[in-house]
């Protein structure tokens, strides 16, 4: 059985400072007002006071694992120059169940040895320690209870219980953190009840994840795509969406340059544009359905687990607040 | 789309000129403001005319001619037509040249009001200015580099791609893509009339990143969802006239043309 | 705590150099190049070709040999247009092969019908060469090709050989009068020939590659003639960037064209051709 530790909340800052001495510490912070308007996002912090845990972060951590401008290699004419990436040991703190599962899903895509493991993702992933934070209560747009998510994918998991954090160890990487901060921790056993492991008061519920039979349903268009502004915000905020594009950037010698990988949102028209200017998913409804079906069906068909992690960021971040959960719940 | 052959001269470099008609010259400045790579640009091409950095005049044939500014009078019109004849490729540089920008606001202003706005200092005589229009209304342009001012990196990218003989595609996605990429929140959520979802990005969402809503200086995307946008604004309690005024600030000419085609021109008629 | 610099020397995105050993201009907008790239591949697979600074494009292999690779390329985009300007001796970057191939070994002892339209003939050429190499393993082999005009005919020299070996039928959508090119075929769509000449479906498999509308019409005709969906193999292509199921761009209703295609069995895709 996994070991448990108790961290008194008054010692939390000491814990963070101790870990920070050996690792970059990345945690949700309240954004500066003019940038994000009181929402939170993950950033590297230097002061434990900055950590903000009252809300579900608006942005995800996926940018830390897949750089939005990942250099695949440099070239000089036809000569390929291997890229160098800078890595620092780092700890992600405050990852919710949805974030952790999102990372697990990215692992399935990028660390899939059968279809070539992605060395960039792997390198960034290898230096990362994932510390989760259990949500005692859900947030407005969450619905993770309606999905089959893993609750054992973490290096450490924090449970907020009264005046303490109960910590569960999930891996050797996590155990190392425990060793570093052992001064502030007390070992314990069976400190969590079934009730403590539940997420209560979730804002949303998805009635069914089996949406195969709804593929030709009218509502995708009338209730969803007809409100969609085709801005791609949902893709950019999703912890899972990983589609990308590859581009060459050259300097003025026109010989030297870099091949770069950038995220590409599937809700945008140009996502499926091929040479000769043909666009396969020209229709907004097709694009909308593609996103939802990828989240609930396509990934499941391939990996036996739903892609969607129920974080609701795509609803919270949609300018038109297209609530696809409601759309599915009302389908018959 | 036009087929692009590599434009070269005896020196192997394309002959390039930067011209400006009525405008603030901010766009040509954004070429010059590429401090670190300005010399690279100058070396990569054969600059024949660029009145900000050189005194020489030239009236021979050009391979690439960048034009900044809107056409507001006969002289401007003649000038762009002449430049068109001399150039293999014409590039509309900046929002005035591509979309009419601020000068074109006059097209939708109340004439009486206009006089007051223009001549608050009580000039004796009213100068007769026809309706300012982007150069694209007078001549065919091969490429457009929109923005007020245009993005420096995009200008560099354009020059490189032309030198490589590639077909240049300007950034097709809406501002929102980059806005979220740079970890901003949504200004629409705050009730601001942000034109991000319908506006062509490539600007690194610089306005939104600094808390200022998008005014659409780069023109609309080819997938702009006007109906959905007006509907959303209405739900937020912002009336269509306000939204329309906002849209007319930079890319009014283009937006009005697009609005003519939907909902029987319901929104195009609003003023 | 220190920053570690990690050199990424092994990467699936990293291409290798290949030299062009032959260059044949096929039509006004397409050409075939032969590369000195020795890599094992199967009929129906594809590779990525790239030119530094220009970009990368997926191209299907149109040969079957462990000694070299042939690619037939149509000049439509930035990369392909630039590739067309290369000459013998020039080098380009390649990686691959990717994709699911035609399961040729499963079809041994069967009749094979190959139907290609326009540049869709190119990916089929690999399977035809495979059949040529293992001719005695297959029974009757029929080829149906359709081109827009006689000037658009691909692989003219190979066609002359195939004409002797297989039942080959070439049709042209339009034949200009008087025709400049010497041609051997009939006027009309390839679908007409298929309708006229294809009969029995016992122990037969069909490969179709070409424009989506041609694939659709041809499959329709075959299904009406009693062919089963499992007997028909079609090609579907989408925009792709990685070739290994990561970029997500080539997905057709949950299937990656790069991993599960570009060759699909008809029943796998039939309802989602436009997705």
Chain A's closest residue to B228, CA to CA, is A227
Which chains pack against C, by 3+ Cβ pairs within 8 A? Answer: A, B
User: Between chains, do B197 and A229 touch, taking CB under 8 Å as contact?
Assistant: yes
Q: Give yes or no for C76 touching B (CB within 8 A).
A: no
pLDDT, average across residues C77-84: 93
pLDDT band at A38, cuts 50/70/90? low
Chain A's closest residue to C77, CA to CA, is A275
Query: Interface pTM (ipTM) of the complex?
Result: 0.90
Chain C's closest residue to B167, CA to CA, is C78
- Supply the pLDDT for residue A157: 95
For residue B165, the chain C residues in CB contact (below 8 A) are 82
Q: What percent of chain C has pLDDT over 90?
A: 75
pLDDT band at B8, cuts 50/70/90? very low
pLDDT band at A36, cuts 50/70/90? low
How far is the C-alpha of A44 from the C-alpha of A91, rounded, in Å? 9
Question: For chain B, what are the domain ranges?
Answer: 3-163, 175-269
Window 143-162 of C: residues touching A by CB (8 A cutoff) are none
For residue A216, the chain C residues in CB contact (below 8 A) are none
pLDDT band at C181, cuts 50/70/90? low
Q: Any idea of the CA torsion for C2, C3, C6, C12, to the nearest 10 degrees? A: 130
How far is the C-alpha of A42 from the C-alpha of A27, rounded, in Å? 5
User: Between chains, do C53 and A88 touch, taking CB under 8 Å as contact?
Assistant: no
Chain C interface, best mutation among A113, A248, A253, by max C CB count within 10 A: A248
Q: Cβ–Cβ contacts within 10 Å for residue A61, how many?
A: 22
- Supply the pLDDT for residue A2: 61
pLDDT in tens, A261-309: 999 999 999 999 988 888 999 999 999 999 999 999 999 999 999 999 9
Q: Is the pLDDT of residue C96 over 70?
A: yes
For residue B167, the chain C residues in CB contact (below 8 A) are 77-78
Express the helix, strand and coil content of chain B in percent, nearest 5 each. 45, 15, 45
| B220 φ/ψ angles, rounded to the nearest 5 degrees | -90, 155
**Are the CB atoms for B195 and B225 separated by under 8 Å?**
no
Window 19-58 of C: residues touching B by CB (8 A cutoff) are 53-54
How far is the C-alpha of C124 from the C-alpha of A251, rounded, in Å? 40
The span from the first CA to the last CA of chain C, in angstroms, equals 49
Q: Is the pLDDT of residue B5 over 50?
A: no
Where do the H-state alpha helices sit in chain B? Answer: 26-32, 35-44, 74-86, 95-99, 111-118, 152-163, 175-181, 206-209, 226-235, 240-260
Rounded to 5 degrees, what angle do the CA atoms C237, C242, C248 make? 70
For residue A116, the chain C residues in CB contact (below 8 A) are 12, 244
How far is the C-alpha of A300 from the C-alpha of B185, rounded, in Å? 31
Q: What percent of chain B has pLDDT over 90?
A: 62
- Supply the pLDDT for residue B264: 84
pLDDT in tens, A234-254: 999 999 999 999 999 999 999
Q: Is the pLDDT of residue B269 over 90?
A: no
Burial class (CB in 10 A: 0-12, 13-18, 19+), C102: buried
**Are the CB atoms for C44 and C126 separated by under 8 Å?**
yes
Chain B interface, best mutation among A32, A43, A231, A314, by max B CB count within 10 A: A231
In the predicted model, what is the mean pLDDT of chain A? 92
Which residue in the set B1, B43, B228 is minimally distant from A320, CB to CB? B228
**Are the CB atoms for B149 and B265 separated by under 8 Å?**
no
- Angle in degrees, 0-180, between the axes of helices C121-133 and C156-165, rounded to the nearest 10: 50
Give the closest residue to C263 by CA, choosing from C83, C63, C103: C103
User: Between chains, do B180 and A232 touch, taking CB under 8 Å as contact?
Assistant: yes
Give the closest residue to B215 by CA, choosing from B250, B256, B173, B253: B250
pLDDT in tens, B122-147: 555 556 667 889 999 999 999 999 99
For residue B176, the chain A residues in CB contact (below 8 A) are 229, 231-233, 236, 319
pLDDT band at C188, cuts 50/70/90? confident
pLDDT, average across residues A175-183: 94
pLDDT in tens, B88-107: 999 999 999 999 998 888 88
Q: Give yes or no for A36 touching B (CB within 8 A).
A: yes
Give the closest residue to B169 by CA, choosing from B178, B181, B157, B179: B157
User: Between chains, do C1 and A245 touch, taking CB under 8 Å as contact?
Assistant: no
Domain C3-98, second-level architecture: Beta Barrel (2.40)
**Are the CB atoms for C24 and C10 separated by under 8 Å?**
no
B28 Cβ contact partners less than 8 Å away, ≥ 6 residues apart: B18, B20, B50, B52, B66, B68, B93
pLDDT in tens, B211-231: 899 999 999 999 999 999 999
pLDDT, average across residues B168-195: 91
Query: How far is the alpha carbon of A11 from chain C, nearest alpha carbon, in Å?
Result: 23
Chain C's closest residue to B1, CA to CA, is C77
User: Between chains, do A251 and B40 touch, taking CB under 8 Å as contact?
Assistant: yes
Q: Give yes or no for C182 touching A (CB within 8 A).
A: no
Q: Is the pLDDT of residue A37 over 70?
A: no
**Which uninterrupted H or E stretch holds C82?**
helix C78-84
pLDDT band at C201, cuts 50/70/90? confident
For residue B164, the chain C residues in CB contact (below 8 A) are 53-54
**Are the CB atoms for A170 and A2 separated by under 8 Å?**
yes
Chain C interface, best mutation among A71, A80, A128, A211, by max C CB count within 10 A: A80
How far is the C-alpha of B191 from the C-alpha of B236, rounded, in Å? 7
Which tokens is C41 given?
Answer: 């591949």
For residue C75, the chain A residues in CB contact (below 8 A) are none
Give the closest residue to A102 by CA, choosing from A83, A130, A78: A130
In this structure, the strands spanning C91-98 and C46-51 are: antiparallel
In the predicted model, what is the mean pLDDT of chain C? 91
Print burial letters for B112-142: b (CB count within 10 Å at least 16), e (below 16): eeeeeeeeeeeeeeeeeeeebbbbbebbebb
For residue C253, the chain A residues in CB contact (below 8 A) are 293, 298
- Which residue bears the tokens 């719940």? A329
User: Between chains, do A246 and C239 touch, taking CB under 8 Å as contact?
Assistant: no
> What CATH code would you report for C104-268?
3.40.50.80
pLDDT in tens, C17-64: 999 999 999 999 999 999 999 999 999 999 999 999 999 999 999 999
pLDDT in tens, A10-31: 999 999 999 999 999 999 998 7
**Are the CB atoms for A228 and A266 separated by under 8 Å?**
no
Give the closest residue to A241 by CA, choosing from A287, A291, A304, A289: A291
pLDDT in tens, C143-173: 999 999 888 999 999 999 999 999 999 999 8
- Supply the pLDDT for residue B11: 61
How far is the C-alpha of B228 from the C-alpha of B245, rounded, in Å? 17
pLDDT, average across residues B249-253: 91
Question: For chain C, what are the domain ranges?
Answer: 3-98, 104-268
Which chains pack against A, by 3+ Cβ pairs within 8 A? Answer: B, C
Q: Compute CA B187 distance to the chain's CA centroid, rounded to the nearest angstrom.
A: 23
- Supply the pLDDT for residue B10: 52
Q: What percent of chain B has pLDDT over 70?
A: 90
Q: Give yes or no for A233 touching B (CB within 8 A).
A: yes
pLDDT band at A35, cuts 50/70/90? low
Print burial letters for B224-253: b (CB count within 10 Å at least 16), e (below 16): bbbebbbbbbeeeebeeeebbebbbbbbbb
Chain C's closest residue to A274, CA to CA, is C239
Q: Compute CA A130 distance to the chain's CA centroid, rounded to the nearest angstrom.
A: 12
For residue A317, the chain B residues in CB contact (below 8 A) are 180, 186
Q: What percent of chain A has pLDDT over 90?
A: 86
pLDDT in tens, A185-238: 999 888 999 999 999 988 889 999 999 999 999 999 999 999 999 999 999 999
- Supply the pLDDT for residue A227: 93
pLDDT, average across residues B235-239: 93
**DSSP notation for A221-257:** IIIIITT-----HHHHH-SS---EEEEEEE-TTSSEE
Which residue in the set B180, B198, B228 is minimally distant from A236, CB to CB? B180
**Are the CB atoms for A109 and A242 separated by under 8 Å?**
yes
Q: Give yes or no for C78 touching B (CB within 8 A).
A: yes
- Supply the pLDDT for residue B139: 95
How far is the C-alpha of B164 from the C-alpha of A255, rounded, in Å? 10
DSSP assignment letter at A113: G
pLDDT in tens, B22-51: 889 999 999 998 888 889 988 999 999 998
Chain B's closest residue to A249, CA to CA, is B157
Express the helix, strand and coil content of chain C in percent, nearest 5 each. 30, 35, 40
Chain B interface, best mutation among A56, A227, A252, by max B CB count within 10 A: A252
Which tokens is C150 given?
Answer: 């006689």
Does CATH number 3.40.50.700 belong to domain B3-163?
yes
- Supply the pLDDT for residue B124: 56
For residue A319, the chain B residues in CB contact (below 8 A) are 176, 186, 188-189, 197, 232
């Amino acid at each position: 059985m996994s070991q448990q530790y108790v961290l008194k909340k008054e010692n939390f800052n000491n814990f963070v400072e101790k870990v920070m001495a050996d690792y970059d510490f990345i945690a949700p912070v309240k954004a500066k007002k003019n940038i994000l308007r009181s929402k939170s996002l993950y950033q590297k912090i230097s002061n434990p006071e900055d950590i903000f845990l009252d809300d579900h972060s608006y942005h995800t951590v996926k940018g830390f694992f897949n750089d939005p401008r990942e250099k695949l290699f440099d070239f000089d004419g036809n000569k390929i120059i291997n890229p160098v990436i800078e890595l620092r040991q780092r700890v992600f703190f405050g990852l919710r169940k949805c974030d952790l599962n999102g990372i697990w899903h990215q692992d399935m895509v990028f660390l899939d040895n059968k279809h070539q493991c992605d060395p960039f993702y792997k390198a960034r992933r290898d230096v990362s320690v994932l510390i989760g934070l259990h949500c005692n209560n859900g947030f407005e747009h969450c619905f993770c209870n309606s999905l089959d998510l893993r609750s054992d994918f973490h290096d450490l998991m924090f449970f907020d219980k009264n005046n303490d954090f109960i910590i569960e160890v999930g891996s050797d990487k996590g155990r190392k953190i425990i060793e570093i901060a052992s001064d502030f921790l007390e070992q314990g056993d069976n400190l969590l009840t079934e009730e403590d492991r539940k997420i209560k008061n979730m804002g949303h519920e998805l009635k069914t994840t089996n949406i195969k039979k709804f593929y030709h349903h009218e509502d995708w268009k009338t209730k969803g795509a007809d409100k969609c502004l085709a801005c791609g915000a949902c893709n950019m905020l999703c912890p899972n969406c990983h589609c990308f594009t590859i581009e060459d950037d050259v300097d003025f010698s026109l010989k030297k340059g870099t091949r770069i990988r950038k995220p590409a949102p599937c809700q945008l028209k140009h996502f499926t544009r091929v040479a000769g200017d043909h666009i396969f998913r020209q229709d907004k409804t097709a694009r909308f359905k593609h996103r939802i079906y990828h989240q609930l069906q396509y990934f499941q068909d391939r990996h036996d687990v739903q892609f969607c992690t129920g974080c609701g960021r795509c609803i919270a971040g949609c300018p038109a607040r297209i609530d696809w959960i409601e759309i599915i719940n009302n389908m018959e | 789309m036009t087929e692009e052959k590599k434009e070269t001269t005896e020196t192997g470099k394309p002959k390039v000129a930067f011209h400006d008609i009525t405008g603030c010259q901010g766009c040509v400045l954004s070429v010059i403001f590429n401090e670190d790579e300005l010399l690279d640009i100058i070396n990569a091409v054969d600059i024949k005319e660029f009145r900000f950095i050189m005194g020489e005049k030239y009236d021979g044939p050009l391979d690439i001619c960048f034009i900044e500014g809107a056409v507001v009078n006969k002289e401007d019109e003649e000038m762009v037509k002449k430049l068109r004849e001399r150039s293999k490729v014409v590039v509309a540089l900046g929002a005035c040249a591509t979309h009419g920008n601020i000068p074109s606001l006059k097209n939708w202003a109340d004439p009486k009001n206009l006089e007051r706005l223009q001549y608050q200092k009580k000039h004796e005589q009213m100068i007769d200015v026809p309706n300012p229009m982007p150069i694209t209304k007078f001549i065919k342009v091969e490429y457009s580099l929109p923005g007020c001012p245009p993005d420096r990196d995009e200008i560099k990218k354009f020059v490189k791609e032309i030198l490589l003989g590639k077909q240049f595609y300007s950034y097709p996605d809406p501002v929102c893509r980059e806005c979220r990429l740079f970890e901003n929140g949504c200004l629409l959520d705050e009730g601001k009339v942000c034109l991000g979802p319908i506006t062509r990005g490539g600007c690194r969402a610089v306005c939104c990143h600094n808390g200022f809503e998008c005014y659409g200086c780069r023109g609309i995307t080819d997938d702009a969802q006007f109906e959905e946008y007006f509907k959303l604004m209405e739900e937020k309690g912002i009336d269509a006239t306000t939204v329309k005024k906002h849209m007319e600030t930079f890319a009014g000419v283009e937006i009005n043309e697009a609005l003519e085609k939907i909902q029987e021109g319901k929104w195009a008629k609003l003023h | 705590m220190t920053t570690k610099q990690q050199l990424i020397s092994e990467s699936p995105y990293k291409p290798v150099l290949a030299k062009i050993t032959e260059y044949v201009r096929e039509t006004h907008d397409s050409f075939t190049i032969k590369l000195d790239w020795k890599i094992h591949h199967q009929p129906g697979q594809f590779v990525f070709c790239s030119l530094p600074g220009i970009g990368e494009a997926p191209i299907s292999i149109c040969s079957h040999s462990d000694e070299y690779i042939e690619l037939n390329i149509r000049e439509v985009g930035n990369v392909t247009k630039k590739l067309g300007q290369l000459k013998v001796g020039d080098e380009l970057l390649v990686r691959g092969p990717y994709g699911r191939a035609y399961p040729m070994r499963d079809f041994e002892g069967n009749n094979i019908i190959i139907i290609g339209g326009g540049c869709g003939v190119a990916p089929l050429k690999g399977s035809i060469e495979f059949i040529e190499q293992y001719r005695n393993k297959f029974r009757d082999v029929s080829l149906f090709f359709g081109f827009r005009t006689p000037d658009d005919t691909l692989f003219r020299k190979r066609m002359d050989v195939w004409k002797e070996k297989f039942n080959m039928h070439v049709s042209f959508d339009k034949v200009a009068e008087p025709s400049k090119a010497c041609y051997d075929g009939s006027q009309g769509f390839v679908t007409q020939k298929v309708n006229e000449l294809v009969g029995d479906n016992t122990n037969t498999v069909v490969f179709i590659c070409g424009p989506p509308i041609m694939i659709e019409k041809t499959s329709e005709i075959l299904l009406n003639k009693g062919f089963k969906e499992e007997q028909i193999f079609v090609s579907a292509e989408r925009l792709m960037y990685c070739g290994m199921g990561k970029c997500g761009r080539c997905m057709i209703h949950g299937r990656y064209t790069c991993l599960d295609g570009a060759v699909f069995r008809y029943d796998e895709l039939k309802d989602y051709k436009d997705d």
